[in-house]
Amino acid sequence: MSLKKHIPNAITCCNLLSGCTSCVMAMEGNFTLALTFIVLGAVFDFFDGMVARLLKVSSPLGVQLDSLADDITFGFAPSFMVFTFMSTLALPDYMAPVAGIFPFTPFLIAAFSALRLAKFNIDKRQTTTFIGLPTPANALFWASLIVGYGQFIAELNYGWLLMLGVIALSCYLLVAEIPMFSMKIKYLAWKANKIRYSFLLVSAPMLLLGVRAAVPIISLYVAISVVKSLARRR
């Protein structure tokens, strides 16, 4: 029993280590491997909770450790990827006074991710749905953006401005009071899962984009959630 109760936490630590390794890969300029380790962290993040429930060893310690690991893998690691990328972007001359500060703006993603995770831990509404963009989805969006579209953005005259805009939007979505559907399927019936099934059907062809796929898929996820939220309010 003493060993069994540590298995989920060990898996969570593998998530954390994946995030740390992703940062090293980003520091070395290997964004593809950095993305790979974020994906690997997401796999560990998926299984730690499942294993804890199967073994019936869920604990408050595991909940807190999970959030700490998530902020490294899904908050700091993508922030560091974006920081490394933005350090290479050319800025116009009138941006010279803030050129030294500009690359550090992505770390706002890590800060808002921590806030998102802290809110999740105390928000009883988020048992079957999410309020705000989940940190793994946000991390995969950023990692995919850098790997798949980084060269395109770097060649834009106003690529730096685009990045600032997306960072601001990302930070807002992480803590926004916008209900976003969960992909957990309890019953297979179409009526109970029509949004989930529709999302999966539309998203499936996007996987042909390879590493670029996460950007349109997560954008679609956010768009559906926003439209659904507005429809409910009306």
Where are the chain's structural domains?
4-182
Mean pLDDT of the chain: 90
Residue 96 DSSP class: G
The count of residues in the chain is 234
Instruction: Please report, in tens digits, the pLDDT of each residue of the chain (234 residues total).
Output: 467 778 889 999 999 999 999 999 999 999 999 999 999 999 999 888 888 888 887 778 888 899 999 999 999 999 999 999 999 998 988 888 888 899 999 999 999 999 999 988 887 776 667 889 999 999 999 999 999 999 999 999 899 999 999 999 999 999 999 998 887 766 667 776 788 888 899 999 999 889 899 999 999 999 999 988 888 777
End-to-end CA distance of the chain: 52
* Class of CATH domain 4-182: mainly alpha
What φ, ψ does residue 180 adopt, rounded to 5°?
-125, 130
Q: Model pTM? A: 0.90
Q: What was the pLDDT predicted at 187?
A: 65
| CA–CA dist 229, 214 (Å, integer) | 22
What is the SS3 assignment for 56?
Answer: coil
Q: What was the pLDDT predicted at 186?
A: 64
pLDDT in tens, 136-153: 999 999 999 999 999 999
